[in-house]
Structure 1
Amino acid sequence: MADPLLDDVGALLREVAADVVVPMFRRLDDADISEKAPGEVVTVADRRAEELISAGLRRLRPGSVVVGEEAVAEDPDLLRHLRGTGDVWLVDPVDGTANFAAGRRPFALMTALLTDGEPVASWVYDPLDATMAACRAGAGTRLDETTVRTTGPVPEVGALRGVVNSRFLPPEIRRTVEAGGRRIGELLPGQHCAGREYLDMLTGAQQFVLFWHTLPWDHAPGTLLVREAGGVARRFDGTDYHPADDRGLLVASSPEIWDEVRAALLEG
């Protein structure tokens, strides 16, 4: 069944990707890339894409608030809207900017809609693969117009595949995770693009992913997609993920897999 909101936002992301982001891929000059924080780059494509996506979202929902990654870099006070009322859009115009700036894939465009502080819809688009995932809370997840589920038979822990982004983990947690990782069937290298990690969970390429830093535009879209497909997104202590929180996130294809991975990686 058609969903006008899912279709309209999906069309907006495709349009901005085709008009701005993809034409600049591997065509950036040094002047097109700058550092907005130590070790964190931004490109002209990020900024222009966020402008266009934000304007399009405001047209779709007049009176709504847009909290974009690049706008927050200029005005961190925008984050107060994450626990506010009404409609709030989260926008990551180019997720995986370091990849994009270096001429590497993957990268993605991501958006989530929060109503009264709770995620109610989300989109992740990989323009190079032309892969779009979208969902509404309570209505399931669509992957390229096909409803997708991540649940099914639960593999033994030694047969699981997933990603552990350990770079920013506190040392004590990192040691526990690295020791526990020997019990997992295959630990995959991170792709430096949260959007692609979530898409790979929807396709079954991996069954879990662990993060430490969880900026809202990086994770609100993907966590809702996984939840609506049957998976779970929880903090290390087992509490449900919320976009306004930070530090420590384990996402898995099913509750049973989440329990297996947590026991292997976090319980020592």
Structure 2
Amino acid sequence: MSISDKDILFLGASVREAARAEIMPRFRNLGTADVSEKTSAIDLVTEADVLAEHKITAALKERFPAALVVGEEAYDVDRSVVPALADAELAFVIDPVDGTFNFAAGLPVFGTMLAVTVRGETVAGIIHDPVLGDTVMAIKGAGSFLTRQDGQSSRLKVAEPAALDQMVGGISWGHMDDPDRSRICSNLAKIRMTFAFNCSAYEYWMVASGKLHFIGHAKLMPWDHLAGVLAHQEAGGHTAKFDGTPYRPGETTGGIISAPDRDSWQLIRREVIGI
């Protein structure tokens, strides 16, 4: 099974249409009844998440009726879809509104993410910014590109390696427990500046375009990472789980670090993660 250039264009158009029709009309326009908690007060779902996922899923099912479609919201109904990614002939992984807390708060730092996997390998990834209309597109073996709303396109490249005290980055420690949580927060004082966007879409966008040196996460849900990891790797970066093994579709544990190269990755693992 392979994905054609026409398929990629279709996927990009489907994501943009969902943003136009279901996400942006609700941005800074949500009523109390349009937002609900999932696992906590910082883990939210909105009407925009649900309707955008439904719209993208319907488009995918019409064009690829045999494909596995894994959406963040659909996962709450059927948990078996994530392990199935490891062997699926063709699968699509959707995060309709990544950064829902920001979206619900009226902060324009959120995105739509879509990954394509073929037999357990990510072959394409899309990160779309509904507010700016810009899109990061990565294709396995062909690079990562940022296309602006006006059509201008540029190839992405990760940051050059730097000394630890000159690095800018962040580790998402919100899903960690102590002592890891406290140790990593303390170790982040070793770098030049730390950021927390609470949005994987923006974090991968920033690290793939060289604005950040590194990012890291403990929780590895596929809709948060598959598209972004491919974008980072195709921009020249090195991403691996905390134990050094590659991150693969279907995996949800083990932690992950994205850095400019292998040496930088090892530096972050040792000095910031502390393992």
TM-score strictly above 0.5? yes
- Which residue number in structure 2 is paired with residue 211 of structure 1? 217
Under a length normalisation based on structure 2, what TM-score does the superposition of the two structures give? 0.90
- Which residue number in structure 2 is paired with residue 238 of structure 1? 244
Residues 159 and 210, structure 2, Cα contact 8 Å, conserved in 1 = no
Structure 1 distance, partners of 2:182, 2:105, is: 31
2:66 corresponds to 1:60: no
2:165 corresponds to 1:158: yes
Q: What one-letter code is carried by the residue in structure 2 that aligns with 1:254?
A: D
Under a length normalisation based on structure 1, what TM-score does the superposition of the two structures give? 0.93
Runs of 4+, deviation exceeding 4 Å: none
Residues 6 and 135, structure 1, Cα contact 8 Å, conserved in 2 = no
Give 1:213 shift: 1.1
- Where do 1:159-238 residues align within 5 Å? 159-188=166-195, 190-238=196-244
Q: What one-letter code is carried by the residue in structure 1 that aligns with 2:79?
A: P
Once the two structures are superposed, residues 179-235 of structure 1 have per-residue CA deviations (whole angstroms, 9 ceiling, x without a partner) of 4323212122x1111001011112222111111112110111101110111112211
2:129 corresponds to 1:126: yes
Q: What one-letter code is carried by the residue in structure 1 that aligns with 2:269?
A: R
- Where do 1:1-268 residues align within 5 Å? 3-39=5-41, 40-144=43-147, 145-150=153-158, 152=160, 154-188=161-195, 190-247=196-253, 248-267=255-274
Q: What one-letter code is carried by the residue in structure 2 that aligns with 1:216?
A: P
Once the two structures are superposed, residues 96-124 of structure 1 have per-residue CA deviations (whole angstroms, 9 ceiling, x without a partner) of 11111121221100110111121111100
Give 1:165 shift: 1.4
Q: What one-letter code is carried by the residue in structure 2 that aligns with 1:146?
A: S
Structure 2 distance, partners of 1:80, 1:183, is: 37
List alignment gaps of at least 5 residues for structure 1: none
Q: What one-letter code is carried by the residue in structure 1 that aligns with 2:226?
A: A
Q: What one-letter code is carried by the residue in structure 1 that aligns with 2:251?
A: D
Once the two structures are superposed, residues 157-180 of structure 1 have per-residue CA deviations (whole angstroms, 9 ceiling, x without a partner) of 111100121222231223332343
Structure 2 distance, partners of 1:75, 1:266, is: 33
Residues 157 and 210, structure 2, Cα contact 8 Å, conserved in 1 = no
Structure 2 distance, partners of 1:185, 1:236, is: 22
Residues 68 and 88, structure 2, Cα contact 8 Å, conserved in 1 = no
Moved more, 115-124 or 137-146: 137-146
Q: Report the identity percentage.
A: 32
- Which residue number in structure 1 is paired with residue 150 of structure 2? none
Q: What one-letter code is carried by the residue in structure 2 that aligns with 1:183?
A: K
Residues 150 and 231, structure 1, Cα contact 8 Å, conserved in 2 = yes
Residues 159 and 209, structure 2, Cα contact 8 Å, conserved in 1 = no
| Distance of aligned partners of 1:175 and 1:43 in 2 relative to their CA distance in 1, 3 Å threshold | closer
Residues 36 and 73, structure 1, Cα contact 8 Å, conserved in 2 = no
List alignment gaps of at least 5 residues for structure 2: 148-152
Structure 1 distance, partners of 2:252, 2:52, is: 25
Once the two structures are superposed, residues 45-101 of structure 1 have per-residue CA deviations (whole angstroms, 9 ceiling, x without a partner) of 111100110111223323111010111112212223212231011000111111111
Q: What one-letter code is carried by the residue in structure 2 that aligns with 1:165?
A: S
| Distance of aligned partners of 1:38 and 1:174 in 2 relative to their CA distance in 1, 3 Å threshold | closer
Structure 2 distance, partners of 1:239, 1:210, is: 14
Structure 1 distance, partners of 2:145, 2:206, is: 14
Structure 2 distance, partners of 1:151, 1:28, is: 37
Residues 215 and 243, structure 1, Cα contact 8 Å, conserved in 2 = no
Residues 83 and 251, structure 2, Cα contact 8 Å, conserved in 1 = no
